[in-house]
A and B are shown apart, each in its own frame.
Chain A
Amino acid sequence: MTDVPATTEVETGPDVETGAAVEALLGTDTSRFRHDYLEVRGLRVTFGGFVAVRDVDLTVTQGDLRFLIGPNGAGKTTLIDAITGLASATGSARFGGKELLGRGTHRIARDGVGRTFQTASVFEQLTVLQNLDIAAGARRGPGTLLRRRRGVPEPVEQALELVGLSALRDTTAGVLAHGQKQWLEIGMLLVQDAHLLLLDEPVAGMTHAEREATGELLRRIGSQRVVVVVEHDMEFLRSFADSVTVMHQGQVLAEGTVADVQNDPAVVEVYLGSPVVSDPTPPTGADATPVSATATKENA
């Protein structure tokens, strides 16, 4: 089952340049979400006695490809969990004018919030096509559900092309390569018609070329949707991030452009003690102009 046909390997991977599909997919019906933004205020998550996320404020607008970084345990994933209803939280998280906290996960998803997971989570026993078709179908009625799928819905076809998995549409998702699974997940977010995309380490384990392709894709998506990316890869971040939020011990440590946060002494201090970052060029040190976390917020 591991013998993914060699002929297909040539053309896998997001293909943003030939992006008629991108326009078709991203361009459809974004009007109702245009100029929407994610607004998090005073968000707090506790597990038992442990405060995982402490009074986080965060604003992300459309067109601002936001990266969320921080050492392990900083609360990045928990923050996403809270926004998507997986972890119960206090405070406020609004998107498209709607309060997200306190609602069921599937209802939040229906309001246009989608996410991916650290370990790509696709339905391994279903084909690529079936995965996308399910992602596209949350609003289907019983009549449609109880009938067999005939043909491929337009958005699914576009997504297949966009994430470069057209040739593998009938392959069981479980046998896809790691990067392909992550593209599939992104594709699922797109057909799901998510307008807030929360991506948890989307390029982990990818080759350099694959990262570049993914980054281009994210940039394209980010221009039309609200996108938050959790990522450890600093090179990737420098190439594609419009802005960065640094979290540490459940709090927002700094926020701003890549350059801003790289020069932030607080950030430097945290990261020097942490081996997680594979950053080949460490921040330039304490003599750089200090930028306070509160000040950089205006950039957002």
Chain B
Amino acid sequence: MNATPRTSDRLATLLRPGRSRALAGFALAAVLLFAVAPVLLSPFRLGLLAKFLCLAMVAVGIGLAWGRGGLLTLGQGVYFGLGAYLMAMHLKLADAGPGGVPDFMSLYGTGEVPWWWEPMRSPAATILLIVLVPAVLAGLLGWAVFTRRVRGAYFAILSQALAAAFAILLIGQQQTTGGTNGLNGFRAFFGYDLTDPVNQRMLYLIAAGVLLVMVLVARQLMVSRFGELLVAVRDGEDRVRFLGYDPAAVKTVVYVVAAVMAAVGGALFVPIVGIISPADVGVVPSIGFLVGVAIGGRATLLGPVLGSIAVSWAQTTVSEQFPSGWIYFQGALFILVIAFLPGGLASLVRRRRRGGAAPPDPRDDDAPTDPAPPDPAPVPHTEGRPA
């Protein structure tokens, strides 16, 4: 086919960083995560970063579902919590030893391990369930609501109510879930002592590796035909239907992917932070996940990750200085970005890039095709049609 560079090609290319840039970006990220951070940061700060990486995993999924798919999911805390609780149950059972009973159950409950805890005695089953349970729940729920064309604001509100219900359910089952206390006081992670600094560093590296893998998965999904289809569904669900696709299936798939990513993030969060409680899964943390995604740039690949890490980092450092100031800062930042810069900070970067020279071969891009027009406002149009 015709390989002559076309003027129109330049336009398209300007929207996408070149392959070399993407490669360099990943390499830089890998070096930063695997080499620089462990050397420069104190164990405490490294532990914090590990926690932020877990939260960033949720953000990757949200970036896919919301930025690309237009599904504003206000209930990712549910899947984060599922993964976290499953992992925490395993750690509690492992600490208790074979046939043992987790301490809190004998303190507050009957001292009997309920049947649905039993599978988590096996490490393999736990890892499997951390992926399966959220996938199945998200699949069923997604399929149910998407085939009935519950979408836009309705979906957002339903997912939010789901988070609220999930937190209430957890709190109410104190004897088996630890109630508001949640699950905590873990000693070991698959046999490795959690208080050992070497093992803590290992956990950090695992989190960094998993996050990178997730970013690669997200990238593959974005650049694939599925990614194009996803944008099409976001911008014109009915139109896609008239082309012979079932948009419900597309949405369900991306919803499941986001759920699994959140669950894996939650599962790693538990050994790193040492606690999971309903305070980490309800309505407020669920919306909190969105903050970083929105600020970083919802429709981009790295925007959600970087945004999420930056926001977490800012929250920790700013709130150390000004406890109540942080809330004003966070609120104001969120308002300004969403209202005036819907593409997030990533769109600023891209806007600046447009001034630069075009890469030599326009078609040689290896980066996710970003559907958002750079100017004036990349509006992921979501169906807000009331009826």
Contacts and interface: CB of A to CB of B under 8 A. Distances in A.
Contacts of B6: 5, 8, 167, 170
B232 A114 contact: no
Interface string B349-387: 000000000000010000001011111001000000000
Which one of A5, A110, A148, A171 has the greatest number of beta carbons of chain B within 10 Å? Answer: A148
Contacts of B244: 106, 109-110, 138-139, 192
B332 interface: no
Given A140-B225, A146-B220, A146-B226, 13 more contacts: A5-B7, A109-B241, A117-B239, A122-B236, A125-B235, A125-B373, A126-B371, A130-B232, A138-B243, A138-B244, A145-B224, A148-B224, A192-B243
Interface of A: 1, 4-5, 7-8, 84, 86, 104-106, 109-110, 114-115, 117, 121-127, 130-131, 133-135, 137-140, 144-149, 151-152, 157, 167-172, 174-175, 188, 192
A65 B375 CA distance: 42
Nearest to B379: A125
A106 B12 CA distance: 30
B225 A149 contact: yes
Main secondary structure of the interface of B (DSSP, over half): helix
Contacts of A170: 6, 8-9, 11-12, 362
B228 A149 contact: yes
A96 B25 CA distance: 53
A146 B7 contact: no
Contacts of A135: 243
A130 B221 contact: no
17 contacts: A4-B8, A5-B6, A109-B243, A114-B243, A125-B373, A130-B228, A131-B232, A134-B225, A134-B240, A134-B243, A140-B225, A145-B229, A146-B224, A148-B224, A148-B225, A167-B6, A170-B362
Contact of B12 (A109, A123, A127): A127
B242 A109 contact: yes
Nearest to B376: A1
Interface string B214-257: 00000011011110110110011011111111110000000000
B1 interface: yes
Contacts of A121: 236, 238-239
A246 to B, nearest CB: 26
Nearest to B242: A109
A5 B7 CA distance: 6
Closest 4 CB pairs of A and B: A138-B244, A5-B7, A109-B244, A125-B371
B96 to A, nearest CB: 42
Nearest to A192: B243
A239 to B, nearest CB: 28
Contact of B8 (A8, A110, A125, A134): A8
Nearest to A128: B8
Contacts of B224: 145-149
B242 A115 contact: yes
Contacts of B220: 146, 148
Contacts of A125: 231, 235, 371-373, 378
Contact of B241 (A105, A122, A140): A105
Contacts of A192: 243-244
Contacts of B247: 106
B156 to A, nearest CB: 21
A124 B225 contact: no
A123 B372 CA distance: 11
A149 B242 CA distance: 22
A157 B246 CA distance: 25
A172 B232 CA distance: 13
A172 B238 CA distance: 20
B255 to A, nearest CB: 16
B136 to A, nearest CB: 18
A168 B10 CA distance: 11
Contacts of A137: 225, 229
Nearest to A172: B373
A117 B374 CA distance: 27
Contacts of A4: 8
A84 B232 CA distance: 19
A123 B225 contact: no
Interface in B5-21: 6-9, 11-12, 15
Nearest to B220: A146
B228 A126 contact: yes
Contacts of A171: 8, 11-12
Contacts of A114: 242-243
B315 to A, nearest CB: 32
A1 B354 CA distance: 11
A246 B143 CA distance: 41
Given A123-B235, A125-B373, A170-B12, A138 B245 contact: yes
Given A123-B235, A171-B8, A172-B373, A105 B228 contact: no
Contact of B1 (A8, A104, A122, A152): A152
Contacts of B225: 133-134, 137, 140, 144-149
A188 B243 contact: yes
B11 A133 contact: no
Nearest to A157: B1
B11 A172 contact: yes
Which one of B8, B221, B229, B371 has the greatest number of beta carbons of chain A within 10 Å? Answer: B8
B286 to A, nearest CB: 27
A178 B11 CA distance: 19
Contacts of B232: 123, 126, 130-131, 134
B2 to A, nearest CB: 8
B242 A105 contact: yes
A171 B373 CA distance: 11
Contacts of B245: 106, 109, 134, 138
Contacts of B1: 151-152, 157
Contacts of A152: 1
A175 B369 CA distance: 17
A168 B7 CA distance: 9
A7 B7 contact: yes
A117 B221 CA distance: 30
A123 B375 CA distance: 17
Given A137-B225, A172-B11, A123 B236 contact: yes
